[in-house]
Amino acid sequence: MNRPGARQKPNQNKLKKSMERDAERMKRAEKDRPTLLAQSVYLGTLGLLMVLPMIAGAYLGRWLDGWSEGYSVRWTVSLIVLGIFIGSINVYWFIKE
């Protein structure tokens, strides 16, 4: 048993320091945790990064299809798929940072 005046073993000192360091890190992490508003803004940004290239592709494709003879959705579908690809890359880069 540990007596008040007894010297602690080196392993106990390491354990105590490690536990104090971990407790301090947990307190800091709790204090710096993102708020609901910050998380909502982050998710909204991800949504816009994904959706805007798709919408731009749809409008540009529709405009280009209007120039062609007859009923065609070739440009519209192609540019929507391109928008999905570009949006996915945008989201990947944003999350990676």
Q: pTM higher than 0.85, yes or no?
A: no
Residue 76: which of 87, 65, 88 has the closest Cα?
A: 65
**Predicted pLDDT of residue 5:** 53
Over residues 60-82, the mean pLDDT reads: 90
For residue 62, the tally of other CB atoms under 10 A from its CB is 14
Domain boundary assignment for the chain: 50-97
- Check the CA dihedral 76-78-81-82 and report its sign: negative
User: Which pLDDT band holds residue 4 (cuts at 50, 70, 90)?
Assistant: low
